[in-house]
Amino acid sequence: MSAPPATPLGIGIAGLGTVGGGVMRLLAANAPLIAARAGRPLIVTAVSARDRARDRGFPLDHPTWHADPLDLVRDPRVDVVVELIGGAENPARALIEAALAAGKPVVTANKALLAQHGKSLAALAAAHDAPLAYEAAVAGGIPIIKTLREGLAGNQITAISGILNGTCNYILTTMRERGTPFADVLADAQRLGYAEADPSADIDGLDTAHKLAILAALAFGQPVDLAAVHVEGIRAIDALDIAYATELGYRIKLLGIARLIDGKIEARVHPTMLPAEAPLAMVEGVYNAVLAVGDQVGRVLLEGRGAGAGPTASAVAADLIDIARGRFTPVWGHDASASMTPTPPAPIGAHIGPYYLRLMVADQPGVIADITAGLRDNGVSLEAMLQRGRSRNAAVPVVLVTHETPEHAMRAAVSQIQKLPTVLEAPTVIRIEPG
């Protein structure tokens, strides 16, 4: 006698943009495969979006349409709510909170909401024994959330870093390959659809900061205050810096970096010089990569597409399959009732490392002596110096690479140096990491 057919998992999707449409297409295209892996069919029973009349390139004949996304929570045919609206506040926040309060599982790709409200959402999920899954919120199709919560669960994670924004990685890669100015490459990225019309969240580092806050919370077992993450973007990176980096044997990447240092969490986002042979340095174009370091496993590197309909929908589908199978892990990977001692943030001024410094100076006697005096006065040791060109009528670049030094000392040195009358532009300072 054959077993009765498995009960389908009813899915309600809020948001039918790029990712929502990708989820709809993936669930239809790979339905038999997904059903086999989930142990039952996954059926989209209801949807909610702003414009019902819009042609999205796929049929919406069978799912129930709800103008109000909160109706997905009340719909008895919806077993799990997929939030793909975006944004850190309502309606996305209200939808997730209502679903968790009703005990309904939630799958989301909303990095901003998790970075800003992850602590309260985790508490709500635990209180109502409702899964909150978010593989799609960080690095698109790279399964880094599952890796940290499950695959590396037996490890003390000591550091995590990564290229978490494909727009910035595309811009920096193209600037290096073509020698093209930042503004021109940004315009090209917008034309190709790699950058938004307003690219501020990407190029100013906020998108990476949201993702880093989530990864650091998972890595270290507790929410990370987004306000404590030091954030710098890539607007100030010049093609000249990229050329000098290449000459010195480095590549410039926008990295998110989080580490446990002396009982504190250091979390920072900024342009970083990496040795050209370092694994993260070789990740190019729109690709993302995450490097985690565990006390038992050592270094683990994951690389793949960090955005787009297909990769992000793939991550959503993975969460849905877990929920269909009854597999889920606490939001931050540990029992919410466990006693956790809050870990204070490490201020950026306490960071220690080498630095790249580029100055545009007047070409006249005594300039180098004045610059090196500024470094000496603040205890900054010089490893290398490059000086190219001579011009009595224009600024010339002087590039310095320091030995390891505290951030506060480097800042003091730069503050002293930029007051020199021979320094004609604001200095460019880029931190150097070993990779």
Place of tokens 């006698």: 1
| 13, 27, 29, 87 from 310: Cα distances, Å | 16, 11, 12, 21
Q: Which of 111, 211, 253, 419 is catalytic?
A: 211
Q: What is the b/e burial string over 20-41, where b = at least 16 CB atoms within 10 angstroms of the residue's CB?
A: bbbbbbbbeebeeebbeebebb
Q: Are the C-beta atoms of residues 148 and 157 closer than 8 Å to each other?
A: yes
Helices (H), 30-165: 31-38, 71-74, 92-101, 111-127, 144-146
Radius of gyration (Cα) for the chain, nearest Å? Answer: 24
Q: Is 111 annotated as catalytic?
A: no
For strand 352-353 and strand 405-406, is the pairing parallel, antiparallel, or unpaired? antiparallel
Residues 6+ apart with CB under 8 A from 126: 330, 331, 336, 337
DSSP annotation string for 406-417: EHHHHHHHHHHH
Decide: helix, strand or coil at residue 13. strand
Give the number of other Cβ atoms within 10 Å of residue 372's Cβ.
Answer: 15
Residues 6+ apart with CB under 8 A from 63: 13, 44, 45, 46, 47
Q: Provide the strand spans (E) within 102-249.
A: 106-108, 132-133, 157-163, 230-231
The set of catalytic residues is 211
